[in-house]
Amino acid sequence: MAAQLRPVTERNVMSNIGITEQDVERRKTLVGLRPADYTRIAAVRDVIERHADELTKSFFEYLGGLEGARVLMAYKELTAEARALKRDHLISMVSGNYDLRYVEERIRLGLLYGRVGLETKVFLGAFHQLLANIGRTILRESKLPPAEAYESLTSLQKVGFFDIGIQVDVLIHERERTINVQSEAIRELSTPVLQLRNRLLLLPLIGVIDTHRARLITESILKSIRATRAKVVVLDVTGVATIDSKVANHLLQTVVAAKLMGALVIVSGVSAEVAQSMVALGIELAPFNTVGDLQGGIEDAERILGYQVTYDPRRASSRED
């Protein structure tokens, strides 16, 4: 069965990314967040809290106009969840408490963005616009002198950069996780082991076989032999144009390993080109049980397993009628 993208928790991501209390402190140091910044942020806390709804609305209005955010905006349930988390985020930004719990809340929002495939560049553009709106709101609504209001904004921007670092890490983490799952699915599709009958497996190969894919073939066959208790495996290479020495040796190892597990491998569909190249490379062919084509391979496998298929002309004629 192909791999699936399973949901992860905030704690899983924190563990995978390596976010600890020490890492949080390091991140705050990197953005220059110091005790004086906490005091300046507290001076504009009431402004941000009073305008949290307005700032949240402007953030999503801007996001809604970006092509890369259409998936998020298309689902009302996700948008409502994102709006609630963003509003909480704005209030938490001026709380003065930027600990592991604060980071966990930022990761929760980042995971939501990751679920809808929000691109990092789209998020960064929207977040930049949010910080600009926050700055305009502070300068317009706070009772601080312009110079002090600007200092408070600068301090709050440090928290914004702290948040950006976390959420970008989450988006990258989710993209890499998606790529890994998709790669695993492609791997499974490139080496499909089919069970034709009880104790009989078929692995049809098409296209180029490199060393990496040859290893996957070995893994797939051996795992399937164990899972199905197979006795015979038909390895069909009709669709393979060429096989080099490394790949041939991997296939040979597969045959030997399968034999150790009590299964016989029949190689079918070896083309003239592949046969000539294997002979030219001096590859030992004795361990291979080869058959001209796929049908012959399946027939040999069925004979070994004791199956007998007989032709009944009466049934054939009735079907033709």
pLDDT in tens, 178-189: 777 766 666 655
Residues 41 and 181 in one domain: yes
CA atoms within 13 Å, Cβ hemisphere of 197: 16
pLDDT computed for residue 1 by the predictor: 39
Residues 38 and 182 in one domain: yes
b/e per residue 146-176 (b: at least 16 CB within 10 A):
eeebebbbebbbbbbebbbebbebbbebbee
Task: Answer whether residue 35 is part of any domain.
Answer: yes
69 DSSP 8-state letter: G
Q: Give the CATH number, domain containing residue 292.
A: 3.30.750.24
Per-residue pLDDT of the chain (321 residues; tens, 9 = 90+): 344 455 678 888 888 889 999 999 999 999 999 999 999 999 999 999 999 999 999 988 888 787 767 666 666 777 888 889 999 999 999 999 999 999 999 998 888 887 777 788 888 888 999 999 999 999 999 999 999 999 999 999 999 999 999 988 888 888 888 777 766 666 655 668 888 889 999 998 887 777 777 888 888 899 999 999 999 999 988 888 777 777 788 888 888 899 999 999 998 988 888 788 778 777 766 777 888 889 999 989 999 998 876 666 766 555 555
The DSSP bridge partners found for residue 268 are 236, 291
Residues 213 and 307 in one domain: yes
Task: Answer whether residue 290 is part of any domain.
Answer: yes
Task: Answer whether residue 292 is part of any domain.
Answer: yes
Spell out the alpha helix ranges (H) of the chain. Answer: 10-17, 21-30, 35-42, 45-50, 52-64, 70-74, 76-93, 100-115, 120-141, 146-190, 211-228, 245-260, 272-280, 294-305, 313-320
pLDDT computed for residue 242 by the predictor: 77
List Cα–Cα distances, 67 to 61, 119, 121, 190, in angstroms: 12, 10, 11, 34
Q: How many domains does the chain have?
A: 2
pLDDT computed for residue 74 by the predictor: 66
Contact 124, 164 (CB under 8 A): yes
Q: Give the CATH number, domain containing residue 23.
A: 1.10.490.10
Residues 311 and 208 in one domain: yes
State how far Cα 194 lies from the chain centre: 25
Residues 173 and 218 in one domain: no
pLDDT computed for residue 30 by the predictor: 95
Q: Which helix (H) or strand (E) holds 265?
A: strand 264-268
Joined tokens for residue 67: 């092509």
pLDDT computed for residue 318 by the predictor: 54
pTM of the model: 0.62
Residues 175 and 228 in one domain: no
Residues 43 and 174 in one domain: yes
Residues 44 and 71 in one domain: yes
Q: Maximum distance among all alpha carbons in the chain? A: 100
Of 188, 213, 242, at which residue does a domain stop? 188
Contact 112, 82 (CB under 8 A): yes
Domain around 73: 10-188
Residues 203 and 149 in one domain: no
Residues 113 and 23 in one domain: yes
Of 173, 188, 203, at which residue does a domain stop? 188
Residues 45 and 67 in one domain: yes
pLDDT computed for residue 103 by the predictor: 93
Of 121, 153, 188, at which residue does a domain stop? 188
